[in-house]
Structure 1
Amino acid sequence: MQATDPLFHATQYLNTLQIYWWPFCRILALFSMAPLFNHKALSVRIRVLLAFALTLVLGAALPEPPSVNVLSLQGVVATLEQILFGVLLGLMLQLVFTIFMVIGEVISTQMGMSMARYNDPVNGVSSSSIIYQLYFILLVFLFFSIDGHLVIVSVVYQSFIYWPIGSGIHYLSVTSFVHSIAWVFSAAVLITIPIVFCMTLVQFCFGLLNRISPSMNLFSLGFPITIMVGLLLILITLPNLPDNYLHLTRELLDNIGFILREGQNV
């Protein structure tokens, strides 16, 4: 009996560990993609510690995981499933910031400031436009003003309720995620239409002026005026940024809720 006691205790500890292991994998994968949590200013150690602390807090309240050996092939597949679902959920939460990244790029191109770049390794690119950095700073303040970090924790908890461990990734959820990507571009187009139209009108006026008076140097005249008009349009549209951000966040949470309910119904 004494020889089997250590083996019994080791098995018991392993069963207790799997209660926290799979939630930890999902939460850490989500933090690697979620807005602000994936920022380079937040080191990997802090991200892992936050995921570990959140796992300890939520572990006792989560549904009981399936009785699967973590070290078996089925346990490895379940771990990869949690990582994939955490990445999918984190990308969904990142979509609102992606919308304004597209908006910043479009506005910069229309203003002729596409060459004004800023080092941006967060989004997987070498640089991003200065206009997007302006939107990003404002989005950070809006994110914390609506307790976005607590919303992310709530979404993580609800994901374990509606999509428990071992339920699998279904085709309908992937389809909904692809539709959400299309929603990003449609939302960015709708927000940038007023600015794009005004900038196109300004460029059309300079083109007409060039036809009337070809001797005028429109490069030295039109470039600064285009930038000034673009900055004026940004100043005019900035008061609508909180409403647009809240509306897009509600739409995003509705999409995430739809995906979670699909996982429960399948």
Structure 2
Amino acid sequence: MHATEPLFQASQYLQALQGYWWPFCRLMAVFSMAPLFNHKAMSRKIRVLLALVITAAVGAALPTVPQIDPLSARGVMTALEQIAFGLMLGLTLQLVFTVFSVVGEVVSSQMGMSMARYNDPINGVSSSSIVYQLYFVLLAFLFLAIDGHLLVLSVLFKSFSHWPVGSGLNYHSYTLFIKAIAWVFSAAVLLTLPMVFCMVLVQFCFGLLNRISPSMNLFSLGFPITIVVGLLCIYMTIPNLPEHYLHLTRELLDNIGLMMEDGQGGQ
């Protein structure tokens, strides 16, 4: 009896550790996609360590996890399920930054600054526009100012109540996620419309001058004026950036809430 007792206690400890494995998988998936957490300044070792610390801190407060063998086929599918949930949450939280990424690309192309690129391997591309880097720095400060890192952890914690471990993937949640991606493009169009209109108006005026006076060298005059007008438009819209960011963040949290509610109702 005494010889088998330590082995029995070890099996209990292993079963208890299984309850921390599934949240760790979801946390790692979220940190790989969530804004600022996926930045190159935060290495993979730091993300893994941060996920371990947070899992150990909140693991006991999470809903009871069903006993699933991690090495079984069901265990592998459950791990993939947690990774899918984490990726969906991380990508959804990244959508506000994606909106301003599209805004930066559109504005820079209208200004004629598409050739001014910045090495940006984090976003999955070789480079990104300088205008977007300006927006990214401002958004990073706003993200930290509103405690966005704590907001990410709060959303992640609530996701375990609406999407418990072993509940399976829900079709309605992914449908709303696809609709949220469409929302990104509509929000980007609304934000860029005033600046694009100004750029088109300037280009139309120079095109009219070219028809009136073909001998005028508009290439040497039009490009600097277009860039100056574009910088002026950015300067005039930057003060409204916090308001737009907060509004888009509220819309994003509402979409996440609908995704979680539909995921819970579909079970």
TM-score where L is the length of structure 1: 0.98
Q: How big is the shift at 1:57?
A: 1.1
Q: Give me the whole-angstrom Cα distance separating, in 2, the residues matched to 1:14 and 1:85.
A: 24
Deviations 1:90-133 (A, max 9, x none): 00000000000000000000000000000001100000000000
Q: Give me the whole-angstrom Cα distance separating, in 1, the residues matched to 2:3 and 2:172.
A: 50
Counterpart amino acid of residue 69 in structure 2: N
Q: How big is the shift at 1:31?
A: 0.3
Q: Give me the whole-angstrom Cα distance separating, in 2, the residues matched to 1:44 and 1:97.
A: 21
1:38 aligns with 2:38: yes
Question: How many residues matched?
Answer: 266
Counterpart amino acid of residue 261 in structure 2: R
Q: Aligned to 2:34, what secondary structure does the other structure show?
A: coil
Q: Give me the whole-angstrom Cα distance separating, in 2, the residues matched to 1:263 and 1:172.
A: 7
Deviations 1:207-260 (A, max 9, x none): 000000000000000000000000000000001100000000000000001001
What is residue 95 of structure 1 aligned with on the other side?
Answer: 95
Q: What's the C-alpha RMSD, in Å, of the aligned pairs? A: 0.9
Deviations 1:138-187 (A, max 9, x none): 00110011000010010011001111111111111111110000000000
Q: Give me the whole-angstrom Cα distance separating, in 2, the residues matched to 1:58 and 1:69.
A: 22
Q: How big is the shift at 1:10?
A: 3.0
> After the TM superposition, which of the residue ranges 227-236 and 164-173 deviates more from structure 2?
164-173
Q: Give me the whole-angstrom Cα distance separating, in 1, the residues matched to 2:230 and 2:61.
A: 51
Counterpart amino acid of residue 95 in structure 2: L
Q: Give me the whole-angstrom Cα distance separating, in 2, the residues matched to 1:7 and 1:218.
A: 84
Q: Give me the whole-angstrom Cα distance separating, in 2, the residues matched to 1:174 and 1:160.
A: 17
What is residue 226 of structure 1 aligned with on the other side?
Answer: 226
Equivalences for residues 110-121 of structure 1 within 5 A: 110-121=110-121
What is residue 64 of structure 2 aligned with on the other side?
Answer: 64
Q: Give me the whole-angstrom Cα distance separating, in 1, the residues matched to 2:220 and 2:49.
A: 54
Deviations 1:2-39 (A, max 9, x none): 45334423321221111110001101110000000000
Equivalences for residues 105-144 of structure 1 within 5 A: 105-144=105-144
What is residue 75 of structure 2 aligned with on the other side?
Answer: 75
Q: How big is the shift at 1:73?
A: 1.3
Counterpart amino acid of residue 222 in structure 2: G
> After the TM superposition, which of the residue ranges 159-168 and 180-189 deviates more from structure 2?
159-168
What is residue 18 of structure 1 aligned with on the other side?
Answer: 18
Q: Aligned to 1:128, what secondary structure does the other structure show?
A: strand
What is residue 247 of structure 1 aligned with on the other side?
Answer: 247
Q: How big is the shift at 1:70?
A: 1.7
Equivalences for residues 176-215 of structure 1 within 5 A: 176-215=176-215
Contiguous gaps of at least 5 residues in structure 2:
none
Q: Give me the whole-angstrom Cα distance separating, in 2, the residues matched to 1:218 and 1:3.
A: 91
Counterpart amino acid of residue 94 in structure 1: Q
Counterpart amino acid of residue 35 in structure 1: P
Q: How big is the shift at 1:69?
A: 1.4
Percent same amino acid at aligned positions? 70
Q: Give me the whole-angstrom Cα distance separating, in 2, the residues matched to 1:89 and 1:200.
A: 37
Q: Give me the whole-angstrom Cα distance separating, in 2, the residues matched to 1:126 and 1:58.
A: 37
TM-score where L is the length of structure 2: 0.98
Counterpart amino acid of residue 26 in structure 2: R
Q: Aligned to 2:122, what secondary structure does the other structure show?
A: coil
